[in-house]
Structure 1
Amino acid sequence: MHVRPGSRPRRLAAALVGVGLLAALPACEAVDVAESGDRTGATSEGPAPVAGSALAALDALEVKGRAPRTGYDRDEFGDGWVDTDRNGCDTRNDVLARDLTGETFEPGTRDCVVRTGTLADPYSGSTIAFQRGQDTSDDVQVDHVVALSDAWQKGAQAWDEERRVRFANDPLNLLAVDGPLNMQKGDGDAATWLPPANGYRCAYVARQVAVKAGYGLWATQAERDAMAGVLARCPDEPLPAGASLPAVRSAPDGATAPASYADCAAVRAAGAAPIHRGEPGFSERFDGDGDGVGCES
């Protein structure tokens, strides 16, 4: 084939110009996308809370710094597991019986002391065989979802002993879980520890929010941000059953409810009976059966 002098350089120059144009296209497209994003007004804000959701309850939690751990001791929350619901069984065995399947009981304990069972561990997603014994009982432990030390530093040190004992034995705040993971968690909050099983994190954080809301505990900013980050992926995750707080009722004639009542007679005289946990003037001493409702009769 005969090539005319000068034709190859012209074609090469044209090709180079074409390559230059192609190289410039991605940059132009990137600018267009950015400008398009600006025009749409898109923001990085999370989803709006759904009424009754854990995310909505999180918005209502007080946020402030962690108080000193000074004075904390496990015994401040009672001497181990107690029988707060008066069913004849301590709380640890109540939780094991609730969370294990195929459980058996030690003879002569009136079906109280759990001997064996199988745990579908929510923290790891694994299945664990529980066998009561000196070397095996710790394979499954009962976790305080909101750790006692964490609660102490975020409001509980101001409580009386009765309220702290009730908190330490509240089924809402207790889960049977993998023992080593419970030890790994320690007294961490959501900012420092979350379950390895990603699929359980929404339910876990929702339970923490429910406990903190129910007992008036606060969260640190880092903790709240971590909780919000988890719940942003499941904005309609509900609070666990029984965790919703009733609306605060006004005293008769629009008067302000007192900070405390002397007894149930005073609660009834004020027209505030029955009184619910979380309402102004509520006291654990009004709630003999531990259901969160005081002065019922």
Structure 2
Amino acid sequence: MRWADRHAHRRTDRVRLTGRQWLGLVVFAAVAVVVAFGVGPVREPHPVPAAQVDAARRAFDGLRVIGARPPHDSGYQREAFGSAWTDDTQAAGAGNGCDTRNDILARDVRVSGLTSASTCPRAVAAGVLTSPYTGRPVVFERGRGSSAIQIDHIVPLSYAWDMGASRWDADRRATFANDPSNLVAVDGASNQTKSDAEPARWMPTLRSFHCQYAVQFVTVLARYGLPVDAPSKTALGRALESC
């Protein structure tokens, strides 16, 4: 076969897409980027009610302060706070037949679809979250897209453990781990970046959310009688001043 004939033969094997097919590919790629990275316009959070800010400032003044976070206990295990997202605790909203993760998704995500799951008969199947840590939208789809949205403990469990929760009984730790006031749905990347860091080492990327973050962090510490490390108290104080 001559070169020209082989070249012509290869060209006829190429798949030609219609304009509609190209448009579908572009839309699919854009959605994939949003799911993976939370790309989109930044949405600013709603102002924190003045009464909540005032209460947090009073609680802040009453927190017990220690010089630094103690060295982390290498023996710490997540299981010390009970089964992940169990519905069987004394936390607000518990005992409603749905696991805590689905309760928080239903609260924070703009839900567009529901399904039945083994841990919740009305589990969130699809929706969009504006991550409070970035202000950007994240698409949620149960299955492959589930990890795009994760549930963060504002006061990390291992931080609570280091600051005194290691001495609590099992029921109190399980309630703490499933308390809605200490939980927020966020983009997966932010949750992984934060890990178990305290405010002195990590604050949300979206600076306008620092007020809300500090209000919730301080409120949870005060509710459970946990102290704060001195560097984090400084960081939280600055955030409360921004309210």
TM-score, normalised by the number of residues in structure 1: 0.59
Secondary structure of the corresponding residue to residue 53 of structure 1: helix
Q: Which amino acid aligns with 1:129?
A: V
Residues 222/116 of structure 1: CA separation in 2 closer, same or farther (3 Å cut) = same
Q: Which amino acid aligns with 2:102?
A: N
**Identity between Structure 1 and Structure 2 (%):** 43
1:157 aligned partner: 166
1:132 aligned partner: 142
Secondary structure of the corresponding residue to residue 104 of structure 1: strand
Residues 219/108 of structure 1: CA separation in 2 closer, same or farther (3 Å cut) = closer
List alignment gaps of at least 5 residues for structure 2: 1-51
1:227 aligned partner: 236
TM-superposed CA distance for 1:108, in Å, is: 6.6
Residues 216/118 of structure 1: CA separation in 2 closer, same or farther (3 Å cut) = same
1:122 aligned partner: 132
Q: How far apart, CA to CA, are the structure 2 residues paired with 1:121 and 1:144?
A: 14
1:82 to 73, 76, 86: 86
Secondary structure of the corresponding residue to residue 143 of structure 1: strand
Q: How far apart, CA to CA, are the structure 1 residues paired with 2:117 and 2:59?
A: 44
Structure 2 matches for 1:146-295, cutoff 5 A? 146-234=155-243
Q: Which has the larger strand fraction?
A: 2
Are 2:69 and 1:66 equivalent residues in the alignment?
A: yes
TM-superposed CA distance for 1:117, in Å, is: 1.0
Residues 97/196 of structure 1: CA separation in 2 closer, same or farther (3 Å cut) = same
The question of whether the paired residues in 2 share the 8 Å contact of 1:142 and 1:176 is answered with yes
TM-superposed CA distance for 1:233, in Å, is: 2.2
Q: How far apart, CA to CA, are the structure 2 residues paired with 1:196 and 1:69?
A: 25
Count of residues in Structure 1 that have an aligned counterpart in Structure 2: 184
Provide the aligned C-alpha RMSD in A.
1.7
Secondary structure of the corresponding residue to residue 54 of structure 2: coil
TM-score, normalised by the number of residues in structure 2: 0.72
Q: Which amino acid aligns with 2:69?
A: R
Secondary structure of the corresponding residue to residue 65 of structure 2: coil
Q: Which has the larger helix fraction?
A: 2
Which structure has more RCO (C-alpha within 8 Å, separation ≥ 6)? 2
TM-superposed CA distance for 1:178, in Å, is: 0.6
Q: Which amino acid aligns with 2:82?
A: G
1:141 aligned partner: 150
The question of whether the paired residues in 1 share the 8 Å contact of 2:128 and 2:140 is answered with yes
The question of whether the paired residues in 2 share the 8 Å contact of 1:94 and 1:112 is answered with no
Q: How far apart, CA to CA, are the structure 2 residues paired with 1:192 and 1:168?
A: 21
1:97 aligned partner: 106
Secondary structure of the corresponding residue to residue 86 of structure 2: coil
Secondary structure of the corresponding residue to residue 112 of structure 1: strand
Residues 138/108 of structure 1: CA separation in 2 closer, same or farther (3 Å cut) = closer
Residues 55/114 of structure 1: CA separation in 2 closer, same or farther (3 Å cut) = same
TM-superposed CA distance for 1:88, in Å, is: 0.6
Q: For residues 28-76 of structure 1, what are the alpha-carbon distances to aligned partners after superposition, in whole Å with 9 as ceiling and x for unaligned?
A: xxxxxxxxxxxxxxxxxxxxxx993322211111001323322311000
Q: How far apart, CA to CA, are the structure 2 residues paired with 1:108 and 1:181?
A: 26
Q: For residues 153-173 of structure 1, what are the alpha-carbon distances to aligned partners after superposition, in whole Å with 9 as ceiling and x for unaligned?
A: 111111001000000000000
Q: Which amino acid aligns with 2:125?
A: R
Q: For residues 104-130 of structure 1, what are the alpha-carbon distances to aligned partners after superposition, in whole Å with 9 as ceiling and x for unaligned?
A: 221476643211111111110011110
1:56 aligned partner: 58
Q: How far apart, CA to CA, are the structure 2 residues paired with 1:141 and 1:229?
A: 27
Q: How far apart, CA to CA, are the structure 1 residues paired with 2:116 and 2:179?
A: 27
